[in-house]
Structure 1
Amino acid sequence: MAASATKQSLLMLASLLVLIGVATGSFYDSFDITWGAGRANIFESGQLLTCTLDKISGSGFQSKKEYLFGKIDMKIKLVAGNSAGTVTAYYLSSKGEKWDEIDFEFLGNVTGQPYVLHTNVFTGGIGNREMQFYLWFDPTADFHTYTVLWNPLNIIFLVDGIPIRVFKNNEANGVAYPKNQPMKIYSSLWEADDWATQGGKVKIDWTNAPFSASYKSFNDVDCCSRTSIWDWVTCNANSNSWMWTTLNANQLGQLKWVQDDYMIYNYCTDFKRFPQGLPTECNHN
């Protein structure tokens, strides 16, 4: 009888631990839905978040924490079908007139045409560092992992673990680098048919609304963060190798493959845009 009671207690404890495990790291714990009047929602005990867009409004959310360096993963499944004129934005940003920002933006397209992955880095409120890519898969068919690895040495953009872009710390050459302003994570699904698809030539077809993007498997285990502006930024003491990560030889090969085969715009090769000379960091890659 005692053995049976002990076994039952252990099973109850195990069940409780499973429940705690499910709740830990959920979207409920990590994010606040900030706009959209019910168009963004959390499902599956906190493991799935969706944003929707209709003719009245888009929707969005932001992290509860602020980050000052980190390796941050999010799995995203983008708007399927005719997504022209929609933008799914996923980025880190600080506040103020001289803000820092690290951007992933996914520009929708007509059915059968590829999404454009738009990336940018802002330092001190100045961006103009756009690089754009097609993807080597259909980002609407399933979830794929989009990662920002931001440390004192470089910012690495990765897709399914494959680096697509690196922005190096070039302070030694007079280029500002984001290292002092903590950033929150933001994401939103919104209408941008004045510019997003073929420079605004293709408009949203509202007969396809509501549009929807989905998120899961958020991971910020490797990061330095704080939960309030009154707190110190603290790092994960058990896992800090990411803090000094740069690309290894294999990853440099992957980066070259992506940029050779899938990059469709690079500000560092746009001489017409910068007739007085390319930005300084373009000469120090």
Structure 2
Amino acid sequence: MVETWQGTPPPDHPPLGLRDWMRVLRRGAPLALLVFGGLLVLVLIRLVEKPFFGQRRPVTPFVTQAVCRAAFVLLGIGYHTQGTPMRGPGAVVANHVSWLDIFALNARKRIYFVSKSEVARWPGIGWLARATGTVFIRRDRRDALSQIALFRNRLQAGHKLLFFPEGTSTDGLQVLPFKPTLFAAFLDPALRADLQMQPVTLRYCAPTGADARFYGWWGDMGFGPHLLRTLAAKQQGRVRVIYHLPVQVRDYTDRKMLARALEDRVRAGLAG
């Protein structure tokens, strides 16, 4: 069972006024059209792509990238990257701050998220996740063998698998200890020899004058209210995606050591 990080209580926000709702409509309507229109295009392309390429997706990931880049333009949130995404198949780990992470991480590089199985049943979000090739797993050590087989198949198809080792989202001001459970699958002899893992740091900067945790989504915060508050912001902030140098999995013999090494790099990126 993944525990939700509670942290300190989020700040109270006044009810949305008329101008706030106007900004919600001005940003939200085009964003919804972009996301669901892009999803429709992706599904139609996938109908042709799947019979010829199976697990490989030579075209549809570019649709996802284009949608995610355009989303930041519509939201008015500044988007910047630093460093170089690794080439070839492998795994990526990042700190988890918000639902905005999905857009931030997809906008620069083609990746496939590893998510808990419950997400597949979430209304709307589950549909989007399935369409974009998300890998659904149960976070249970008893499923280790099936996870290894699943990861091997996706990596052999050239996919980059991304997961959030903290296991929950935070306020964006800290990095929680990485849970080592999923790292064990990547240390399997069938995968580790040529596998790389790249740590990535997500740094959100709140709008001027707003609480530093403005984009954080944690505790009992609902998705709807957080989305509305983000859309209603009079002034937006920015996000920076920092790609650190990848590590070679074969250099580590223990899942805890591997998790800690990647955690240290992500944490240093947030502190820096």
Which interval holds the TM-score relative to the shorter structure? under 0.3
Which structure shows the bigger proportion of residues in strand conformation?
A: 1
User: Which structure has the higher relative contact order (CA within 8 Å, separation 6+)?
Assistant: 2
Q: TM-score, normalised by structure 1?
A: 0.25
Structure label with greater radius of gyration = 1
Q: TM-score, normalised by structure 2?
A: 0.26
Which structure shows the bigger proportion of residues in helix conformation?
A: 2
